[in-house]
Chains A and B, each alone.
Chain A
Amino acid sequence: MKLIKYIALACIFLSVNMSFAQEEKDAEAEKEVKETGHLNDNKFKQLYEEFASPNMYRSASGTPGPNYYQQQADYVMELELDDKNKTLTGFETITYTNNSPDDLEYLWVQLDQNVRSRDSKSPLIQGSGAFPADRVSSFVNDHMGEGFDGGFNIQEVKHEKGYSLPYTINRTMMRVEMPKDLKSGEQFTFSIKWWYNINDHVNDGGRSGYEEFKDGNRAYVIAQFFPRMAVYSDVEGWQNSQFWGRDEFALPFGDYEVTITVPADHILDATGELQNRKEVFSKTMINRYENAKKSYKEPVMIVSQDEAEAASKGFSTAKKTWKFKAKNVRDYAFASSRRFIWDMMAVKIGNKDVMAVSMYPPEGNPLWEDWSTKLVASTLISYSRMTFDYPYSKAISVHAKSQGMEYPMICWNYGRPDEDGTYSERTKYGMFGVIIHEVGHNYFPMIVNSDERQWTWMDEGLNTFVQYVAEQDFGEIYPEAIAPNTKYPSRRGPAKNIVDYMSGSQDRLAPIMTKGLNTYNFGANAYSKPATGLNILRETIMGRDLFDYSFKTYARRWMFKHPTPEDFFRTMEDASAVDLDFFWRGWFYSTHYVDIGVKEVKKFYVTSKMNKEIRDMMESRGMKESDLPPLVYLVEEGSEDFEEDMKTTSINDVVPLQEFIMDNFSPDERSKMKKPNYFYEITFEKPGGIPMPIIADITYADGTSERVKYPAQIWGKNDISVGKFLASEKEIKSIVVDPDEETADIDTSNNSWPKLKKMGEFNKFKDKVKG
């Protein structure tokens, strides 16, 4: 050990001398041009300017502050689905509790269905051009017809005492005026009566609506369907930013009591616990349900395919009412059809049983009966491990053609086999991925209730990250589901999959910290990039233990609350003692990218002969050789002092070094000393703006290799390049930076020394097809 220190001392000496010469040169230059000053533009600068100040509502640690509050909106709703006329009618009573310290003059209610009203402005923000040809149906729809009217018909807005309340509708937002201000701590109860025409989601789009089958039956998946309270919070006041169709929601928590009247032969499931199972289930169904509650491995059919197909012929005109209660949810949705097959199984989460449920028309088979419910169960297990135990009683995956959308306890998922029952790998993995993703949304944002309208990445990015973990888990639990693959082929998550996006030209990129509606490449910006960033933190920067603990801490702190981006960023640091400001700044607040390479490798030899640098220094300081302590000198290969025979000189031949060792160490100690014979100065460069750890594989002449890892903070003082001195017993043959492609390095042409001519993706493929 001491030997290395001794050599290192010589190096320090050498570098002192070099910086001395540098200072002189700088002084000369300064006389000619005066440089301007600058603000702190260090990549490791703390994010005081970007972050909102911590306060009594939100603490600097990232936890809810002592005065944190959130509003509560409780709903009692009576709904009726008219299958014949394709309408939905509702009467809802909202009890709104003002837990904020402010007195409220009015309330804002969201009317999402108005995005489908005839006078909706949503189509107006889409650029459009002339098309040489158009499909006849869309031509008629766009230019000749009146268009479908799917907006809300608000019939009345009334005070609980029965009188009408004044209201103003501004597109998808309705302001309701109260007789007097709603004081802090008070409640206000009012009711809204409404109806609307249900849209055909397959042909007209939308995340809610019906699919019509060839036999005339419809499967309804109904969501964002009722006037919903907007969020009032310490960060936004009223979040009444309009709904344009693509963006999602900000919703307060509340308790729901809902009755849904549908045709008597429909099968229905919804957010919340069914209150009148005996009225709506047959005896057989109840027995099967009891069996399902005890089945942890295989789903139990509540309604079989044969039964669903038989029911499809009925078209009952009688009605049936399903009654539900849901506690502490932020939204409500349901699915209803007589064509639904229904299966369930139990899954143990902590010390509680949760029901994993699937509903699908026969069109979904054989894929859906095989995998949907198992995917739901497996997702709940993975997410519960990464965050908190799933707090609700059930999670339902409903098959709706072309949909992928989440609501509390229930979601719509695509993945439809061809009519002959066969399906491609793409359809299968599409279905697997979407079920895991949408069931996963129960955690983000249904429970960790971030503001989706403002920050798409907070739920989509975090959820896509956990989705990656859950997909990998699923592949391990059900290898037969992914065969012949041995690892689940996740689309989003691995670092190298984000390179295409992050290397795009800058005028087409936006930082993640941009409102979702205003980004160019929404999927990459709000889903893949944040998910990949978290994956890099977990695997490369923090390590799994620190990351997982902190991520879990965030989820638990903000469970059933409304977090902001800062709450997430702060918690990740607070719980791990890893300063991540450089990462948030680079990955979330900027469009910088990662590019790190090895610039050059200099080889040095040891000698007892004084080299030029020391000679020059002695001269300039008027020193004699006797003024110096015993020194060992390093000479760069190819430099002025370099002599060919140095290549064969061993450190044992350097007399002052050898004397020192003999005088200070016992023979036993000497035998344990390392004998470095090769000395290198490796310069790493960083053309990219995001600091990352330097990970390098060093391969030696004897074929062995070693991985070195320097923390990202190595870039703290010099953002452009950094040197590393290595003393080695073996000769270095090659160095490869980021060998496992774990940092999203956008340009790997500078990652190797000596420079490797790497075959690009294109030539690789070309070679392959040529055979």
Chain B
Amino acid sequence: MFPLMSMSTVHKFYVSITKVEYIKEEQSLQIIAKIFTEDLEKTLRERYNPEIHLDSKKETASDAEYIQKYLSKKLKINVNNEPVTIEYIGKEYENDVVKIYMEVKNVLELKTFEIENKVLMDMFDEQQNIIHFKNKKIRKSLMLDGDNPKAVLNLN
């Protein structure tokens, strides 16, 4: 069997990985979300427009904007209990995955980090979104799913 590909069969694994790294010197939370292109394309088509194409010659600038629009609705971060703006930097494709780069700027200090990642959960019941958080001291992985799309890390 071949997992981690877009399949609507029982053995398909709906997983995305989001890497979040806090760099104190740059006052920056650097975010890279890796999502299966096929799954994201399917979701955007159903949600916005059936003519959306990702990672193909047919991809248009407005198709790419849908990614940004969708992410802004589905990915939310609170820093020290306050919601913050996630700046969209860009995206690139790597094999069957789209890597989306985002940044939260001006994070002088990170005491608590709260993330809600509902990406693709509107499309796939079994979607799991894994968060790999990292700063100088710790690495921590969080598993978010439909039951628990949110998690908090206390970094004090």
Tell me whether A760 and B30 are in contact (CB under 8 A).
yes
B96 within 8 A of A: yes
Q: Which of A95-103, A127-135, A362-370, A529-537 contacts B (4 or more CB under 8 A)?
A: A127-135
Tell me whether A205 and B56 are in contact (CB under 8 A).
no
Instruction: Report the separation of the CA atoms of residues A592 and B130 in the bound assembly, to the nearest whole angstrom.
Output: 20
Tell me whether B5 and A430 are in contact (CB under 8 A).
yes
A150 to chain B: closest CB distance in Å?
Answer: 12
Instruction: Report the separation of the CA atoms of residues A424 and B21 in the bound assembly, to the nearest whole angstrom.
Output: 32
Chain B neighbourhood of A319, CB < 8 A: none
B13 to chain A: closest CB distance in Å?
Answer: 6
Chain B neighbourhood of A523, CB < 8 A: 3-4, 13, 15
Instruction: Report the separation of the CA atoms of residues A579 and B37 in the bound assembly, to the nearest whole angstrom.
Output: 42
Tell me whether A402 and B132 are in contact (CB under 8 A).
no
Chain A neighbourhood of B1, CB < 8 A: 207, 248, 404-406, 460
Smallest CB gap from B93: residue in A: A426
Instruction: Report the separation of the CA atoms of residues A131 and B32 in the bound assembly, to the nearest whole angstrom.
Output: 27
Of A418, A424, A425, the most chain B CB neighbours within 10 A belong to A424
Instruction: Report the separation of the CA atoms of residues A586 and B98 in the bound assembly, to the nearest whole angstrom.
Output: 32
Tell me whether B55 and A426 are in contact (CB under 8 A).
yes
Tell me whether A126 and B9 are in contact (CB under 8 A).
no
Tell me whether B146 and A500 are in contact (CB under 8 A).
no
Tell me whether A424 and B55 are in contact (CB under 8 A).
yes
A128-176 contacts to B, CB under 8 A, are: 128-129, 131, 133, 138
B83 within 8 A of A: no
Tell me whether B13 and A504 are in contact (CB under 8 A).
no
A391-419 contacts to B, CB under 8 A, are: 402-406, 414, 418
A413-450 contacts to B, CB under 8 A, are: 414, 418, 422-426, 429-430, 433-434, 437-438
Q: Which of A52-60, A61-69, A346-354, A761-769 contacts B (4 or more CB under 8 A)?
A: A761-769
Chain A neighbourhood of B5, CB < 8 A: 404, 414, 430, 434
Chain A contact-residue range equals: 35 or more
Tell me whether B4 and A131 are in contact (CB under 8 A).
no
B5 to chain A: closest CB distance in Å?
Answer: 6
Tell me whether A503 and B10 are in contact (CB under 8 A).
no
Instruction: Report the separation of the CA atoms of residues A500 and B139 in the bound assembly, to the nearest whole angstrom.
Output: 12
Chain B neighbourhood of A19, CB < 8 A: none
Chain B neighbourhood of A238, CB < 8 A: none
Of B10, B32, B96, the most chain A CB neighbours within 10 A belong to B10
Knowing A422-B56, A426-B37, say if A129 contacts B146 (CB, 8 Å): yes
A228-277 contacts to B, CB under 8 A, are: 245-246, 248
Tell me whether B101 and A762 are in contact (CB under 8 A).
yes
* Number of A-B pairs, beta carbon distance below 8 Å: 132
B16 to chain A: closest CB distance in Å?
Answer: 12
Smallest CB gap from A504: residue in B: B141
Chain A neighbourhood of B92, CB < 8 A: 765
B57 within 8 A of A: yes
Tell me whether B9 and A201 are in contact (CB under 8 A).
yes
Smallest CB gap from A521: residue in B: B15
Chain A neighbourhood of B56, CB < 8 A: 418, 422-426
Tell me whether B130 and A425 are in contact (CB under 8 A).
no
A508 within 8 A of B: yes
Query: B140's contact among A128, A206, A505, A527, by CB below 8 Å, is which?
Result: A505
Smallest CB gap from A520: residue in B: B143
B50 to chain A: closest CB distance in Å?
Answer: 11
Query: B95's contact among A138, A414, A491, by CB below 8 Å, is which?
Result: A491
A489 within 8 A of B: yes
Query: B122's contact among A133, A425, A505, A761, by CB below 8 Å, is which?
Result: A133
Tell me whether A403 and B146 are in contact (CB under 8 A).
no
Knowing A460-B1, A769-B90, say if A203 contacts B8 (CB, 8 Å): yes
- Seen from chain A, the residues whose Cβ lies within 8 Å of a Cβ on chain B are 115, 122, 126-129, 131, 133, 138, 201-203, 205-207, 245-246, 248, 402-406, 414, 418, 422-426, 429-430, 433-434, 437-438, 460, 489, 491, 500, 503-505, 507-508, 520-523, 527, 760-763, 765-766, 769
Apart from A122-B10, A127-B147, A426-B38, 5 more pairs, CB < 8 Å: A202-B8, A405-B1, A426-B93, A437-B2, A522-B13
A-B contact pairs, 14 of them (CB 8 A): A205-B9, A207-B10, A246-B10, A406-B1, A418-B56, A423-B56, A425-B55, A500-B19, A500-B132, A505-B132, A505-B140, A507-B141, A762-B30, A765-B32
- Seen from chain B, the residues whose Cβ lies within 8 Å of a Cβ on chain A are 1-13, 15, 17, 19, 21, 30, 32, 37-38, 53-58, 89-90, 92-93, 95-96, 99, 101, 103, 122, 125-126, 130, 132, 139-141, 143, 145-147
